[in-house]
Structure 1
Amino acid sequence: MSAPDVGPTTRFGRLETRGVLLGLSGTQLAVVGTATVVAVVAVYSAGMSGLVVASPVWATLLVAGSVSVGGRPVVGWVPLLAQWHARKGTGATSTVATAGDVAPGRWLTLPGLPGRLELVDCDELGGVLVLERRTGTVTGVLRATGTGFVLEDAAAQEHKVAAWGRALAVACQQSAIVRVQVLVNTRSGGLAPARRWWREHCNASEPGLSAELAGMLDEGFVVPHVRETFVAIAVRAPRGRRRLSASDLALVARHLESFGAAVQVAGLRAGGWIGRADLARVLRAAYEPGATARAEETPAALVGSPGVRERWGSLATGTGVHATYWVSQWPRTEVHPAFLQPLLLGEATDRTVTLVAEPLPTAQALREIRRAKVEHAADAAQRARIGQIEDESTRAEVADLERREAELVAGHGDLRFTGLITVSASGTSELEERCAAMESAAAQAMCEVRRLVGQQGVAHAAACLPLARGVL
């Protein structure tokens, strides 16, 4: 009896934890070296009594350089804490900038993003492009809907996985493409069309029944959930940070249309490039999902956001609180391509899942791999010299590096993936409950998540705004 066909599988590389020497970064080595110098000087100056007297200094430095807390070295928390307190002291953690008033104007200012973004209409695409002169990138946003994957047979799933791989290969082959973002937003709402239809076609001869049914629709308006999927592609501006000309727009449109065609082959139905009105609604929903769920007017009326206040572990807006997580570790074993089903299709309320793929040039990827292999070889020699045993995680990292190098030499592309998850709620207590539910769903998907404390503003912008922005 033959084994059942389980379909295609996916394998992820481990999170690289290598350092300059013995897994320690340059900063850690400097701190540990300083602790060693202090201890040696104390011993040569006053013997063991000097070592004991100086123990608070060298012991503190040794702990700061070698111990990790929350997945980050103690010395790595220092710049984060300093930056957070500096921003908090200067009032940079609070803003009153609106997130929805984008339809009438040319410039766009959003909380958590430095500088202004320029909106440029593109007739070739029939949508709007977002130009960020600070980074010299132009972003187009494509609305997409899936054609089904979980219930497909193994052959259809394998075909769609291969087609999506070819779409990412297109991004690797086009040097103009800087970043690709896939954003799946699940939020309350979805009955606006039903309410609008009932108000237009209700039976005026029976006002009692009409009022009763209208009340039922009003009460259940925020109960259902609607899922939206966007694919944002950021390309290099042909003229750098200067204003785009008509020929520049045509060139950018060709790059975007090329990747959009590859996405459709991968099994996504393209709903067109979004315009100013849709962009205004999507951006407002990222900051105030509750207010947007109850709004039935045009997005141009969604203005007057009361502002954003960034906290250590969350982001507070006028109608809710948000917390953004980073997927610090993808599944370590081979998994089915639908492994994110608990996060995407489970019981999700006001949750945004974002995947950012950044193509790496082949020469840069090979340099990084070879530098990492040299660092691992130096660590292995040092461990052999001091008699330290090499652990299995180090051998797994080396195997991942060799596999990546072999794939690059064979002609494949290399991408740097980043996963972000944002949970939204109306209050702090409800947010913690939903965060716990999300962490449970992530565990079912065999992913490890970590809350991005001290940087919730920039993390929320990267996770919830379909602008294909980098995380760091």
Structure 2
Amino acid sequence: MTSSNAPGTELVPVKFSRLTRRGVLLGLSLSQLVTLGVGVVSLVWAFYAGGGILIAITAPIWVLAAALTWIPLSGRPIVEWVPVGFWWIWKTTGGQLLYRRRIVKPRPAGTLALPGDAARLREYRDSSTGAGMIHDPSAATLTAVISVTHPAFVLLDPGEQERRVTSWSRVLATACRSGRVSMLQVLERTLPDSGTGLAEWWSTHGTHDSSWASTTYSELIDRAGPAGERHATTLSLSLDMKAAARQIRTAGGGIRGGAAVLRQEMNTLVAALRSADLAPSAWLTCGQIAVILRSAYDPAVAATLERHGELGQNLATAGPVAVNESWNRLRTDSAHHAVLWISEWPRSMVYPGFLAPILLSNGIQRSFSLLCTPMRSDQAARDIRKKKTEYISDAAQRQKIGQIEDASQTAEYHDVLQQEADLTAGHGVLRYTGLISVSATTNDDLDAAVAAIEQAAIQASCETRLLVGQQAQAFTAAALPLCRVV
């Protein structure tokens, strides 16, 4: 991501790197090279073995190989859809598209009642802080969640916005320099408001004199409060237990040692958030995380859980009762869901707050998840050197065969050079993944909400794509604060 000074304003616009579309050779991916090689081998063999008749006989092979290699389908070559199709067929034949809670047979203690590969997650309560931690034994990660409140960014003056952006960059730099952080997830979601905030304000500051104005105002709050919506932001910090293996052994080993190391990262993150003028709350307990999970799968009960603080605070029962997954939809207890992937960030210079059309969309229940994966400086340097070598060799190969240089390939190469300059200057390198989960009560309402979010993304200079064949896994990454990947 690059920046440039803008005249006449204190804000500094930024530019995101393009999504790399470079292949292994001449822009072709490995799967394309394999199918193209099969087609070329069959055609050459037919030409030398028997001529015209064999070429005609083998025509279905090399014609199909050419079609799989070059014909695009929804912006991707057909051959790249083959693994997705096989994975979908396997899930369909194996009964993996349906999930039903086993009411009579409870889950083992300490496990999360979640569908799919999230069923392997385990809960752990830190005795020192009381925070709930989620352990993934397969990925060897330990995750803690914190709630963050902040003022409305779009209402601040340009100088204050720039200062807060700079402060937030220091928070991300802290995660990059640690070397033990696996992922930092920012989850911003809209929730149906239960009206408790308005009711508490009225009970504290209102005038209860049984007058007509007082009675009318009380009735208005009772009716309009639950019909509104509010925004909630959480940060999830995931510890890479493999990278922190030495520190974990020093702290006692196992989950207890991992929790001790994670507490160090938690304290560092809280200090960085406070220096960025953000207001972090206490780290969420297991019960508070359970409410978030339950509200994501069953949005109709979210307001009820908020009004009654003792309900739903059990991770063993926080998951959905039923889940039906289709090709581009997900049906849970009381809602239909669809997950969009931000496939392209703004290619031109944009100012901070460019995501406002998406985040401030009204009347749409959605969750915006930004997955930040930090890279160690040595790993980032090796990756940049590899990309530079591949770009230079591809350019030489294209020049040798007389292929015209594409402007997009030149722009990607310049992005790599800019990343190298930023890394040399001491900045950290993060990989960003943006996911948007849209929820509605019916399929028609979901289609309208998805269309509205897509239009809002266009206003934000972003390109979105509806994920297909993996909606269940994408939903856990987009709507749940568990630092999951797709």
* TM-score between the two structures when normalised by the length of structure 1: 0.90
When residues 384 and 467 of structure 1 are mapped into structure 2, their CA distance, relative to the original with a 3 A threshold, is same
Aligned AA (1:153): D
Query: Within the alignment, does 1:173 sit opposite 2:177 as a pair?
Result: yes
Cα offset, 1:3, TM superposition: 5.2
- CA displacement, residues 393-441 of structure 1 (integer Å, 9 cap, x when unaligned): 0000000111111221222211111000000000111100000000000
Q: Is the CA contact 2:198–2:225 (under 8 Å) kept in the aligned structure 1?
A: no
1:350, CA displacement in angstroms?
0.8
Q: Distance in 2 between the 1:57 and 1:210 partners?
A: 80
Indicate whether 1:85 and 2:89 are aligned.
yes
Q: Secondary structure at the match of 1:180?
A: strand
**Distance (Å, rounded) in 1 between the aligned partners of 2:452 and 2:287:** 33
Gaps of 5+ in 2: 1-5
Q: Cα gap change, 1:96/1:217 in structure 2, threshold over 3 Å: closer, same or farther?
A: farther
Residue 324 of structure 1: aligned partner:
339
Question: Cα deviations across residues 211-264 of structure 1 (Å, max 9, x unaligned)?
Answer: 99998667545521111000000012356797422x543322111110122122
- The partner residue of 2:261 within 251, 265, 269 is 251
Contact 1:181 1:356 in 2 (8 A): yes
**1:264 corresponds to which of 259, 262, 274:** 274
**Counterparts in 2 of 1:109-148, with a 5 A limit?**
109-148=113-152
- 2:444 paired with 1:433: no
Cα distance 1:248–1:33, how it changes in 2: closer, same or farther (>3 A)? Answer: closer
Note if 1:468 corresponds to 2:483. Answer: yes
Letter in 1 for 2:59: S
The aligned residue for residue 184 of structure 1 is 188
Pick from 366, 369, 376 the counterpart of residue 351 of structure 1: 366
- Closer, same or farther: CA 453–153 of 1 in aligned 2, 3 Å: same
- Confirm or deny that 1:223 pairs with 2:233: no
The residue matched to 1:106 in structure 2 has which SS?
A: coil
Partner of residue 421, structure 1: 436
2:13–2:349 Cα contact (<8 Å) kept? yes
* Change in CA separation of 1:172 and 1:199 when aligned onto 2, cut-off 3 Å: closer
In structure 2, C-alpha distance between the alignment counterparts of 1:20 and 1:33, rounded to whole Å: 14
User: Quick check: 1:280–1:299 contact (8 Å CA) kept in 2?
Assistant: no
SS at match of 2:13: coil
Distance 1:112 1:312 in 2: 16
Give unpaired runs (5+ residues) of structure 1: none
Identical pairs, percent: 35
**Kept after mapping to 1: 8 A contact 2:134/2:144:** yes
Rounded Cα–Cα distance in structure 2 between residues aligned with 1:418 and 1:143 = 20
Alignment-derived partner of residue 308 in structure 2: 297
Q: Give 2:417's aligned amino acid.
A: E
SS at match of 2:485: coil
CA contact (8 A) 1:277 1:300 kept: no
8 Å CA contact retained: 1:98, 1:110 = no
Q: Residues 187, 98 of structure 1: CA spacing in aligned structure 2 closer, same or farther, 3 A cutoff?
A: farther
State how far apart, in whole Å, the 1-side matches of 2:483 and 2:279 are. 20
Shift of 1:75: 0.9
Q: How many Å separate the matches in 1 of 2:34 and 2:161?
A: 50
Give the one of 400, 403, 409 matched to 2:418. Answer: 403
Deviation of 1:51 (Å):
2.8
2:46 to 39, 42, 49: 42
Opposite residue 156 of structure 1, the aligned amino acid is E
Determine if contact 2:133/2:286 at 8 Å carries over to the other structure. no
Deviation, structure 1 residue 16: 0.4
CA contact (8 A) 1:14 1:330 kept: yes
Assess, with a 3 A threshold, how the Cα gap between structure 1 residues 79 and 68 changes in structure 2: closer, same or farther. same
In 1, Cα distance between the equivalents of 2:341 and 2:102? 26
- Deviations along 1:163-200, whole A, 9 cap, x unmatched? 11111111011011110000000122231455689999
From 143, 149, 153, give the equivalent of 2:157: 153
| Alignment CA distance shift 1:419-1:134 (3 Å) | same
Distance 1:3 1:248, change over 3 A: closer
Of the structure 1 ranges 304-313 and 411-420, higher mean CA displacement relative to structure 2 is found in 304-313
Q: Give, in whole Å, the separation in 2 of the partners of 1:211 and 1:347.
A: 29
Tell me which moved more, 108-117 or 55-64: 108-117
Q: CA RMSD in A?
A: 3.1
Q: Deviations over 1:358-404 (max 9, x none)?
A: 01111221222111122212211221122110011000000011111
Query: What is the alpha-carbon distance in structure 2 between the residues aligned to residue 91 and residue 52 of structure 1?
Result: 42
